[in-house]
Chain A
Amino acid sequence: MSTTTVAHHEEHSDHPTGIMRWLTTTNHKDIGTMYLTFSLVMFLVGGLMVLGIRAELFRPGLQLMNPDFYNQLIGVHALIMIFAALMPAATGFANWMIPLQIGAPDMALPRLNNWGFWLLPPSAILLTLPFTLALFGIGDGALATGWTFYPPLSVQGGIGVDFAIFAVHLLGVSSVMGSINIIVTLFNMRAPGMTLMKMPMFAWGWLITAFLLVATIPVLAGAVTMLLTDRHFGTHFFDAAGGGDPIMFQHLFWFFGHPEVYILLLPVWGFIPQILQTFSRKPMYGYKAQVYSLWAIGALAVVVWAHHFFTAGMPVPALLYFMYSTMAISLPLAVLFFCWIKTMWKGSMSFETPMLFAVGWIILFGIGGLTGLVLADVAADAQYHNSYFVVAHFHYTLFAGGIMGIMAGVYYWLPKMTGHMYNEKLGKVHFWLTAISFNVTFIPQFFVGLAGMPRRIPDYALQFTEFNMISTVGAFILGLSQLLFVYNIIMCAKGGQKATDKVWEGAEGLEWTLSSPPPYHSFNEQPVIK
């Protein structure tokens, strides 16, 4: 009896309640929950911005906003969705699930973990504050260059650019700290007997992501710092008159920017196979092939950057190199697609919400990948560059391939995290609404892009009107149906049917051996893997 009292007392002492619990927590589950909640909130904020953009594009001409505000919405929408919605969601899953999946009591560096999270809210405020300041007549609003900060526009821009630069610094520091933590956790904290090649696929996806982050985020930080000194301290890194070169910024930016795409996707490629195997009730196909493919993609990711600006002017051999190396990425990716499909092949499949999202994800992400191959073609890219075709392409990879993947993960692990089952019927309605309205939104954008509608322009030629109207209607349905997602999550956190420990019949892995929800401190005694 006395031992339980002591244990309880101990737990209570390093577990303050109320707001202090969340401010000071070093518990991986608390931090994971905070990351995921932050991500969901910012997903709605970024979504709200894009609804403003779509509303403006409902009809040609300028209706709702001036072009400058439109440009601000475009850039901040992208930065929020990438840095404040997708990346924190992946980091949230990493915090929650990596220690549970590898049988570790917590992340390796818990205090760093806390710090990593608490840098995010200030950076989100930095990004959006210029909107509010402009209302009071201070400055001329947020970053209006698009998320890519290209000079000379970004050198000439207002205080919004400075705010965004500092936000990127903070976000960068946060994700580098998260990555260091994940690398150390995966190398040092695995349960005895769990070799690297026995790690769950999600851990593999994140390990490569973390390596990409520590290698490329500092390059972005360096590039935006140079921009800052060009703006305020008289340097000429990107000023041709002073001997600099604006094109160099594009090289620096995309040296980070292209790996960033895989940073957003690799964690998803990690847990989707786990979902597929769970609901196909058979082991994952080609574990080794998948691990090697992830490595191949991680390595190729850092040598293909210039395909983002083929039209900026490059010698032909450079164009050819970047075209072929970009297309080469489709080879390991094809191996992954094959393994995902083969995992389902002849399985005893059932289609609960996570599986619906996972299967829909394969199809939609496939479209994103294939349209990427079209853009990788130098000759074709001259036509499609900066058109809506590109917008549609990267939303297939980042909304379908990123966010819908994350949603699959949310439905998959939510019962484990909360201890309650979510509303299955509502989940399915959410999936179908999301998948259909997503396509209604973005398929027309392929068409207008092929017909020559440029991106980042608030107005368009009359012949694009019908497709843009369809796209806007789709976007509003897509946005509103996310409220179902939020409602479902909140109701699931509050209560509902109790989840079993295993939750899913075919679930495999250490996280399913714990209770639902898992105890506040888990795996204090590490399990031994045979």
Chain B
Amino acid sequence: MTDSQPTKQQKANKKLAIKVLYVVIGSLLFAFALVPLYDVLCSITGLNGKTDNTAATLAKAKVDNTRVVTVQFVSAVMPGLGWNFYPKQTSITLHPGQIETVIFVAKNTTSETVSGQAVPSVTPGKASSHLKKIECFCFVNQALKSGETKEMPLRFFVSPDLPDDVKEMTLSYSFFKAPDQKALN
């Protein structure tokens, strides 16, 4: 027991302990790997209403005249951003494949120039990948001078692949204060 040389038992213990430590390190890496995995999963499943936040190409989407979809628009301004923000029309009814433009209005009510970032979300989740944005103010940060009002267009269509049972969908925009304010100014 008092030998300073590690016994066979102690060596075996150390070996196994290191193996278990690899599992610990593995699951720590797994935690960080979940961040990109989560994004991938969200864009595949529409989990969380995440939409593709890049411009859709103007594909020759055939207009499906046999049915109509109602798209409702919801706007919100998050705390920390002194803006008014609302859509000019609260809903639109269109055929899948039909390209439409909707105007959103933002007004900076503060006394300084502020940048904001709009984050979209679509409900129901299964419709989120079928809302295609050609042009959107949410693709980049929007900077507004003090008191400035800006009309911002959203050009979009609903993909004809939209499941038949979806008759209504809601597109919600939350305007956040842009995170890297300093870099922009």
Residues of A within 8 A of B (CB): 10, 108-109, 112, 176, 179-181, 183-184, 187-189, 214-219, 221-223, 226, 234, 236-237, 239-242, 245, 247-248, 251-252, 255, 313-315, 318, 524
From A215, A239, A315, B125 is in contact (CB under 8 Å) with A315
0 or 1 for each of B148-185: is its CB under 8 Å from A? (1 = yes): 00000000000000000000000000101111100000
0 or 1 for each of B23-37: is its CB under 8 Å from A? (1 = yes): 111011011101100
B180 partner residues in chain A, CB cutoff 8 A: 234, 242
Q: Chain A CB within 10 Å — which of B31, B78, B119, B124 has the most?
A: B31
By secondary structure, the A interface counts as helix
Check B75 for interface membership: any CB of A closer than 8 A: no
B45 partner residues in chain A, CB cutoff 8 A: 315, 318
Q: Is the CB of B125 within 8 A of A183?
A: no
Check B9 for interface membership: any CB of A closer than 8 A: yes
Q: Is the CB of B27 within 8 A of A109?
A: no
B47 partner residues in chain A, CB cutoff 8 A: 314-315, 318
CA distance A183 to B21 in the complex (A): 11
Chain A residue, CB-CB nearest to B118: A241
From B10-18, B66-74, B89-97, B100-108, give the one contacting chain A: B10-18
CA distance A161 to B24 in the complex (A): 25
A236 partner residues in chain B, CB cutoff 8 A: 179
A241 partner residues in chain B, CB cutoff 8 A: 78, 117, 119, 176-179
Known: A241-B119, A245-B38, A313-B48. A10 touches B2 (CB 8 A): yes
Min Cβ gap B180→A in Å is 8
Check B126 for interface membership: any CB of A closer than 8 A: yes
Q: Is the CB of B27 within 8 A of A219?
A: yes
From A180, A240, A252, A318, B24 is in contact (CB under 8 Å) with A180
Check B59 for interface membership: any CB of A closer than 8 A: no
Q: Is the CB of B9 within 8 A of A188?
A: yes
Q: Is the CB of B34 within 8 A of A252?
A: yes
A184 partner residues in chain B, CB cutoff 8 A: 13, 16-17, 20
* A and B contact pairs by CB, cutoff 8 A, 10 listed: A184-B13, A188-B9, A216-B27, A219-B30, A242-B117, A245-B48, A313-B125, A315-B124, A315-B125, A524-B1
Chain B residue, CB-CB nearest to A313: B48
From B17, B30, B177, B178, A180 is in contact (CB under 8 Å) with B17
Interface residues on B, range: 35 or more
Q: Is the CB of B16 within 8 A of A187?
A: yes
Chain B residue, CB-CB nearest to A107: B13
CA distance A215 to B23 in the complex (A): 7
Known: A183-B20, A241-B117. A109 touches B13 (CB 8 A): yes
Additional A-B contact list (4), CB under 8 Å, known A109-B14, A216-B27, A313-B48 = A188-B9, A240-B119, A241-B177, A242-B180
Check B49 for interface membership: any CB of A closer than 8 A: yes
Check B87 for interface membership: any CB of A closer than 8 A: no
Chain B residue, CB-CB nearest to A104: B9
Q: Is the CB of B32 within 8 A of A222?
A: yes
Min Cβ gap B110→A in Å is 17
From B20, B25, B34, B179, A251 is in contact (CB under 8 Å) with B34
The 7 closest A-B pairs by CB, nearest first: A222-B31, A241-B176, A218-B28, A219-B31, A218-B27, A315-B125, A108-B13
Chain A residue, CB-CB nearest to B45: A315
Chain A residue, CB-CB nearest to B14: A109
A214 partner residues in chain B, CB cutoff 8 A: 20, 23-24, 27
Q: Is the CB of A218 within 8 A of B24?
A: yes
CA distance A10 to B1 in the complex (A): 10
Min Cβ gap A519→B in Å is 14
Chain B residue, CB-CB nearest to A245: B48
Min Cβ gap A240→B in Å is 5
Q: Is the CB of B9 within 8 A of A242?
A: no
Q: Is the CB of A180 within 8 A of B32?
A: no
Q: Is the CB of B31 within 8 A of A218?
A: yes
CA distance A109 to B17 in the complex (A): 9
Min Cβ gap A178→B in Å is 12
CA distance A251 to B38 in the complex (A): 9
CA distance A343 to B153 in the complex (A): 71
Q: Is the CB of B16 within 8 A of A183?
A: yes
B48 partner residues in chain A, CB cutoff 8 A: 245, 247, 313-314
A234 partner residues in chain B, CB cutoff 8 A: 179-180
Chain A residue, CB-CB nearest to B25: A218
Known: A237-B35, A241-B119, A245-B38. A188 touches B12 (CB 8 A): yes
Min Cβ gap A203→B in Å is 16
CA distance A179 to B27 in the complex (A): 14
CA distance A254 to B124 in the complex (A): 24
A314 partner residues in chain B, CB cutoff 8 A: 47-48, 125
CA distance A315 to B128 in the complex (A): 11
Min Cβ gap B91→A in Å is 21
Q: Is the CB of B119 within 8 A of A180?
A: no
B21 partner residues in chain A, CB cutoff 8 A: 180
